[in-house]
Amino acid sequence: MGDSKSGLGFLVLLRIVLFSGMSSDAHSLSYNFTIDPQPRDGQPWCEVQGEVDQKIFLSYDCGRAQIKYLGPLGEEVKSMSAWETQTDTLRDTGDLLKGQMPDVTPEKHTDKGPLTLQARMTCWREDNGHTNASWEFGFNGQLCLLFDSENGHWTVVHPGGRQMKEKWENDRAVTDFFKKVSMGDCRAWLQTFLVRWEKMLKTSGK
């Protein structure tokens, strides 16, 4: 449990360093996936939390296709037509991650308890207009693997991500999917939503 907390603490610190100094023209959009292949009764097998500039604006249950718009940012864009294609893409991503779990589960994992997969997709626009994207993957809250969507580079940050890297690095279809969703879909959503969000984000304070 200590490793899990320290891994998550590192992620929080990393994001503070990366995004706290953003100018008013720089923004980030993130989607946090939690995949539980053996959920308890009434619990979702796939949950997605959406954040813009680290402010939560939606919660999505992939299995039941139920979406909750959170706060003023969520309310501002809930009527936009972009949601239909976005939720389809988020559900497809959840399905892919669940399907990949048997092949990427760490070899040393035992059946002592349930194993959940976390994935975080982030795309961001820098103040010079350049956009980029990345993925983070982990098990039970422990960050294991990073993927740079722009250059296609995989980085293992915990031994639990080794098998995941070996599988996905050699699977062109999976790698292309991660690139397409983060560099294509995510960046398009960010650009579309910022039309409605930018004024709110500037006045909300950092």
- Residue-wise pLDDT for 162-193, tens only, equals 999 999 999 999 999 999 999 999 999 999 99
Q: What is the mean pLDDT of the chain?
A: 84
CA atoms within 13 A on the CB side of 102: 3
45-67: average pLDDT? 93
Between the alpha carbon of residue 80 and those of residues 28, 69, 75, 76, 195, the distances in Å are 19, 12, 10, 9, 11
Q: Tell me the C-alpha distance between 34 and 66, whole Å.
A: 15
Beta bridge partners of 68: 59
Residue 128 token pair? 């010079």
Measured torsion, CA atoms of residues 163, 132, 173, 8, in degrees rounded to the nearest 10: 30
pLDDT digits (tens, 9 = 90+) for 81-134: 888 889 999 999 999 999 999 999 886 655 566 889 999 999 998 878 788 999
CA atoms within 13 A on the CB side of 121: 26
Long-range contacts of 146-155 (CB under 8 A, 24+ apart): 147/178, 149/123, 149/178, 149/179, 149/182, 149/183, 150/183, 152/179
58-72: average pLDDT? 92
Nearest to 183 by CA among 145, 147, 154: 147
Domains of the chain as residue ranges with CATH: 2-18+27-106+114-151+173-204 (3.30.500.10)
Nearest to 64 by CA among 99, 98, 91: 91
Residue 142 token pair? 């422990």
Cβ contacts of 194 within 8 Å, gap of 6 or more: 27, 125
Q: Tell me the C-alpha distance between 146 and 2, whole Å.
A: 21
Residue 95 token pair? 């399905």
Cα 140–chain centre separation: 15
Other CB atoms closer than 10 Å to residue 103's CB: what's the count?
A: 13
Residue 170 token pair? 């050699």
What per-residue confidence (pLDDT) applies to 108? 65
